[in-house]
Structure formats: structure tokens, C-alpha cells
Copies of this chain bind each other. A is one copy, B any other.
Amino acid sequence: MNARLHDAGGYDAVAFGAWRTRQQSAVEAALSRWVPADAPAGLGEAMRYAVLDGGKRLRPLLVLATAEALDGEPHAAMRAACAVELIHAYSLVHDDMPCMDNDVLRRGKPTVHVKYGEAQALLAGDALQALAFELLVPGDGSVSAALSAELCRRLALASGADGMAGGQAVDLASVGVALDQPALEAMHRRKTGALLQASVLMGAATASAPPPRMDALSTYGACLGLAFQVVDDILDVTADSATLGKTAGKDAAADKPTFVSLMGLAAAQSYADATLERAHEALRAGGVPRPDTLHALADWVGRRAS
């Protein structure tokens, strides 16, 4: 078997690498076009600093890969891809602030509040959230109202009290608390899982995927989200800050419950692998037409080094 053409996951690893690089560039260009440089009083500069030139763009890639797999609408998918990334970016800005994680390093650069001050960081995060929704409803009619409304609803649900913000509240409250595995998973399902899952489902929405396929993709997104977090916990203890581009060993230092503290390193790795296999299986069971890139993204999440 030719490793260039097909790795163990059954997809072309080189083609996936090229796809990823191409889409990361496209997302970067779209974000650069849509995050306003001219927002007043330095706000635009802080917003762009928070968003541009950074990160793996996993959430946008999930949106775009799902849309491509189902032959979704490319322009709407790119708007959705950027919208989920703006939500992710704003959550990092707020999460890094002194009253939350008080972190000074993000993606290898000073965090937004270190660079621009806390007030500007707070406002930049707020404005990025608003911009995410604005992107989903272009004024030029280039996305249908039905699709805009569905995308807004999915993004709002994944971002709010029952999604990301709620998960962060649980996270805050669980420092030094002995969460069991179901409670830890419930927390992460909100904190990071909801937006990752929404990324997949928003991509699917651009293709008006029928309910059974949405269910399969929902399972794929949930498993990928869980595996992402387990690997995150593993990297927190095995990688260094330079590789991560953020402070390593943070969770252990903060006495936060993690999959590693709960089950040990080897079992956490096995659990990540098994969870990713469930993601692959969901794609197969759902009969997703062109699933290669989604398979590849799942493995990419599981094998990442940062």
C-alpha cells in the first residue's frame, strides 16, 4: 500500500495536508476581509490580533470539510467557518483575562489583554461575538434567510449557557473538585464539545442534510469533541509551552480535574483512540458521501502535537 496515497485511515494523507493548508489560507483571508481593521479607537486592531495569524483553525476546517462532504453551499460554509472561529477566538480572549485563567501567552504571542489592556480585551471579545452572528446574515442576500436563521440558532445554542459559556462556568466551579468521568465529560461537552459539534452541523446545514445524516454527523462531532479534549489533557502534561504555544502544565497547576488525572496517561490515550474510532464509525454508519477529509480531521485531532 502506498503511504502517500492512503494511510491507515483510508484517505490520502498528502492530499489532506494540501487541503488543510489551502483551507487554512482561505479562512485566514476571509477572516482578514471580515474582521474590520477600521473599528474605532484600536478596537479593530485588538480584534484582528485576537483572530488573525493563529491557531489550527480546527473548527473552520470541520465546517468546510462537512460542507464539502455533502456538497454544501461554499460561500455560506466559509461564513459559518469564520463565525465559529470568531466565537472560539472571543472565548480565548475572555478566558485568558486575569479574572479567569490569567494567562499571558497564547499561540506563542502575548494574550490580548497583555497587549491591549483588559478593557479593550473585554470589548474585543464582545465585538467578536457580535461579528460572528453578523457574518451569518450577510446584507447582500448571498445566504438564504432560512440558512442564516438555522446557522444563527446553532451558533447561539453552542455558545451560550447550555454550551460553551455554561461549560466554562462549570470549569470555574470545578477547581479542586473531584469530578467523576461523567461529570468531566458533561463539562467538556459544553465547554469545547458544543462548538466543535456545531461546526460539523453548521457545515451540514449548508447542504440541507436530512435528519438521519445530521444525527450521524452529530455523533461524529460529539466524539471528535470529546477526543479533542482528552488529547488536550494529555498534551497539557506531555508537551512543553513552546510546542503548545500556550502555558503547559496549567491544568495540573490549577488543580483542575482532567482525563489524565482521572484515569492516568495510558488509559487516557486509549480512551482518546476509542472515542475517535466511534467518530469514524459514525461517518460510516451515516453513509456520508465523501467522508475522507472528515476521517482525516478526526485522526489529525487525535495525533496532534499541540
Task: Report A's interface with B, CB cutoff 8 A.
Answer: 36, 39-44, 47, 90-91, 94, 97, 99-100, 117-120, 122-123, 125-127, 129-131, 133-134, 136-137, 139, 144-146, 148-150, 152-153, 155-157, 159-163, 165-170, 172-174, 190
Contact = CB atoms under 8 A, between A and B. Distances in A.
Given A133-B152, A148-B149, A152-B137, A161 B122 contact: no
A133 to B, nearest CB: 4
Nearest to A187: B40
| Protomer copies | 2
9 contacts: A36-B161, A40-B161, A90-B126, A97-B99, A127-B159, A133-B155, A133-B156, A134-B157, A145-B150
B94 A126 contact: yes
- In order of increasing CB-CB distance, the 10 nearest A-B pairs are A130-B160, A99-B118, A39-B161, A134-B156, A127-B165, A43-B169, A137-B153, A41-B173, A41-B169, A148-B149
Given A159-B130, A161-B131, A166 B94 contact: no
Nearest to A94: B122
Contacts of A161: 36, 39-40, 43-44, 47, 127, 130-131
B36 A127 contact: no
Nearest to A136: B152
Contacts of A44: 161
A246 B153 CA distance: 35
B129 A130 contact: yes
A126 B118 CA distance: 15
A210 to B, nearest CB: 18
Contacts of A42: 169, 173
Given A43-B169, A162-B39, A169-B120, A149 B126 contact: no
Contacts of A91: 126
Contact of A39 (B36, B149, B157, B166): B166
Nearest to A135: B156
A96 to B, nearest CB: 11
A112 B91 CA distance: 20
B153 A120 contact: no
A122 B145 contact: no
Contacts of A125: 126
Nearest to A141: B149
* Interface hub of A97, A139, A150, A169 (most chain B Cβ within 10 A): A169
